[in-house]
Structure 1
Amino acid sequence: MLSLECTLYEERESIAWITLNRPEVLNALNRRLWREIFENLNCAEKSGGVRAVVITGAGRAFCVGDDIKEVFNLKTPEDIRNFFWNFAAPTITKIVSLSKPVIAAVNGPAYGGGCEIAMLCDLVVASTNATFAVPEALIGAIPPIAAIIGAFVMGKLNASWMMFTGEPITAEEAKRLGLVNEVVPPEQLSPTAEKMAKATMRAAPSAIKAIKKLASMNFDQEKLEKAVEELINIVQTEEGKEGHRAFIEKRLPKWANF
């Protein structure tokens, strides 16, 4: 297994606990973090003693999405494809294909890719401190995973609102929309995630595996490929470039002809 720099991994009472551990950058997703999440999930999959997985964040955030320092250094379409297919995609597909329940314990802001990780999980418990947002369109990009599965998770109208406006929503609102199963005080987050994980253990492992396989039919490689190509196309447009500049310059973008 990969030596861990950006995550913590622990197996306890048949639960694998994966903690995103870059609190100094609010657990932003760089290549290393994407790879370590994948390796941790692989370890949990192979472990005969693990029946469920919990993903959470260290510090005050769950995950605020991709590490901007890395993403803004992706200059060409091939750079973006390399980043996505070699680092992000294996982890994304592993969460979906894992034969064991994956629970997101969202301890704070879950933005962009962080919100999408929560969407990919089978169950979500959120702290009252948690907020959720997919703000990519505000800087001339798209959230590829939310665009594919958002409507399946919370309905087309709710997913469209989140993606079109980029506005953060509270944990309670996320629960109302169907993105979160349960909202609890911060001190109850880990105990509740553990309780949820143990509740799934009453089911036959083969039944869990089959249910997950059927549910994942809404998410396939072809859709993912199309979403990535759409992302590549839009970030190369004038609006995509203006969104990039505006983000760096900390101002609102000026969209052409508006």
Structure 2
Amino acid sequence: MSYIDLINQFWRMNRIDPFTPTEVCLYFYLLSQWNNYNREEKFEIGTRSLLNELRMTDRTFFSVRDSLRDKGLINFTKGERRSSSPVYQILENVDIGRPMRTAEPEAETEMPEEIEVDEIPSPTPTPSPVPEDQKPVQRPPKRKKIEKPLDELFKAPEPEKRKKKEFVPPTLQEVEDFFSGLGVVDALDKAQQFYFHYDSLGWHTSSGAAIWRWDSLANKWLLNDKQKEYENNRSSSKKSGEGDGYKESLYERFAESERKFWEKNGDH
């Protein structure tokens, strides 16, 4: 039987009765050594070198070696300590399920030219099934280790952070349109004063905070400006269209502007 035939034989037997990982390792190691010894019938291997190469303990090796022999895959003769190494022999199988035989070819049976009916040999009896107590013990497969800790496996996903809205400063034209819409006196001049003042500050307050509501700040700018005019002209007569009535109108427009902004944008 060729090297490939022995490998195919092994895996056919594995489908019927699975081998353990250590049995697979030892058998294919011996099969490789048999091939290296030019496939001689018998070959020697030192036990100590075998254990070092396969990383097996003495107890595991002797148990697996006996198991392969019991299953009919190998045969061996124990060596003598410090004088000779064990001698191994790879066995082959004619048909899976039948007893093993050695690699030696069987002698051909000569059949007579004329066979009487009474002389026809009886068929080979079917081998009896192997008792349950003699079958090799199958070990349960090892459980795979969990590579990640349990707290990482069941960790809840972190909520996505809300992206902060980027501030875009207003243009001079937007500020002038806003001041003109309020109907203030000298709207363009006051709009330019407001725009160039905060543009020079990089649209930040004196405390360094970014100005997100420039329209609200513009309303306060006009209220403060009107408050100064009111205090300067308090002792003099009030001009038509100005005074307390105009100041109250600005407060009402400021409140209306704030209300519309929060209805449109919500909480920033």
Same fold (TM over 0.5): no
TM-score, structure 2 normalization = 0.22
TM-score, structure 1 normalization = 0.23
Higher helix share: 1
In our comparison, the structure showing a higher alpha carbon Rg is: 2
Q: Which has the higher contact order (CA 8 A, sep 6+)?
A: 1
